[in-house]
Amino acid sequence: MKHLAIFFILVIPLTGLAQKRSKNQLQKEKQQSLERIKETERILGETAQQKKNTLGELAAVNQRIQQQEALIISIQSEIQLLDADIEENNDIIEALEEDLAQLKKEYATMVLTAQKASGKVDKLMFLFSAQTFDQLLMRLKYMEQYGKARQAQAEAITRVQNILGEQVRATDAIKKSKSQLLADEESEKNQLTTLKEKQSGIVKNLQKEEKKLKANLEETRRAVAQIDKLINDLIKEEIERAAREAREAKAAARVAEAKKIAEATVALSASFEDNKLKFAWPANGFVSQKFGRNKHPVLKGVEVPSEGVTIQTRQDEKVKSIFEGEVRMVAVVNLFGNSVIISHGEYFTVYAGLKEVYVKRGQRVATNQEIGQVTVNNEGVSELRFQIRRNTQALDPQQWLRK
């Protein structure tokens, strides 16, 4: 029984530590979810304030629903962890109770035996009835060990009782935490229901304006085609310029200079590649349109292609360059406002949808340098269209930016 008590004394704290790490991680994730929800709520509030029942408002509500579902899953995971804790603690409590009952039973037997031989005469008779002196010493030693055994048994009972009490109190605390989480889960589910009702209402109102949505979509496609042409033309021009400079340097016997330019381009490209998945996002907010082909949120059977991502953000949000490079173009694009293209060797980043621009063509920019401010479109939505390209090939920005 003594070994079992030692086992609980040593193992229970270690188990608790392992579970604590898991709980801390879940609580950290939940806190991050709440911060993202707060940011999206601000964006949603600003968007709805500008104009009701828009695609921008729907995008923000869709994002809130995703975040709300993630928060509920996080709470449910924490509840499952607490259930596992409670189950484990109940097993420990049951084992401790069995151990305690056995210890008490053994102690009662020892006390009963001691009571039968409690009289001084009986003890003396037990000693003096020894046949030899060695036997007398053995009996004295036995009586001493028996007394120590009783004391040790009593101490073991006290220790197990203390551990049992701590375990019961810990279990009660976990149950209290679980009750609070269950209440939180119910509250968040109610909020999710409210969000879905709001989503349904916005979709119904937008479906009534199908002609307007199709017209806006066509206008957006023309604007996208315009900026894509600008990008492709610029990149082709850059490639041709680099080739021309190399030829001119070679013709002028400036091979070393041409080699130096080529090496600088390669080095910058390699540095850009080395930072894959380390780049900070160019603006705060959420992705309202992903890279590739996206289903239209309202129009059935309609897909919207995207060469980058659209980041819906707050009004007047500052936009930053994700990496050092050179501004190769600042242009105004119909519907999107100002656009900035920055070269990073073979790579290019595109920032479209700016109200103000803080940089100019030919300027060197640093990583995370502010290059402009997001504009508000005619639907009252603040959004940045962001692209990453390797020469003319469009890449998925979410495969390059931090998770």
pLDDT number for residue 67: 93
pLDDT number for residue 172: 87
CA–CA gap between residue 123 and residue 146 (Å, rounded) = 13
pLDDT number for residue 107: 67
pLDDT number for residue 401: 96
Domain boundaries along the sequence of the chain: 2-207, 221-399
List the single range of 186-200, 262-276, 281-295 with lowest mean pLDDT: 262-276
Q: Which fold has domain 2-207?
A: Helix Hairpins (1.10.287)
- State the pairing for strand pair 286-289/347-357: unpaired
Closest CA to 363 of 340, 339, 380, 390: 340
How confident is the model over 357-385, as a mean pLDDT? 93
Residue 2 has pLDDT above 50, yes or no: no
CA–CA gap between residue 295 and residue 381 (Å, rounded) = 19
How confident is the model over 374-395, as a mean pLDDT? 91
pLDDT number for residue 26: 80
Q: Please name the residues in contact with 279: beta carbons below 8 A apart, sequence gap of 6 or more.
A: 322, 323, 400, 401, 402
Whole-model pTM?
A: 0.74
How confident is the model over 347-376, as a mean pLDDT? 95
How confident is the model over 236-251, as a mean pLDDT? 75
Higher pLDDT among residues 169 and 359, named by residue: 359
Q: How many CB atoms lie within 10 A of CB 223?
A: 16
Rounded percentage of the chain residues whose pLDDT exceeds 70: 80
In which residue are the tokens 């979509």 written? 217
pLDDT number for residue 17: 47
Q: What is the mean pLDDT of the chain?
A: 82
Q: How far is CA 335 from CA 29, 84, 218, 227, 332, in A?
A: 38, 55, 12, 10, 9
Residue 129 has pLDDT above 90, yes or no: no
CA–CA gap between residue 240 and residue 234 (Å, rounded) = 10
Residue 212 has pLDDT above 70, yes or no: yes
pLDDT number for residue 24: 82
What DSSP line would sit under 51-68, residue for residue? -SS-HHHHHHHHHHHHHH
CATH number of this structure's domain 221-399: 2.70.70.10
Residue range 9-61, pLDDT digits in tens: 445 554 554 455 577 888 888 888 888 888 888 888 888 777 777 889 999 99
Contact in structure between 375 and 353 (CB atoms under 8 Å): yes
Residue range 71-116, pLDDT digits in tens: 999 999 989 888 888 888 888 778 777 877 887 777 677 666 655 5
What DSSP line would sit under 269-338, residue for residue? HHHHHHTTTTBPPSSSSEEEE-SEEEE-SSSTT-EEEESSEEEE--TT-EEE-SS-EEEEEEEEETTTEE
DSSP 280: P
pLDDT level of residue 236 (50, 70, 90 thresholds): confident
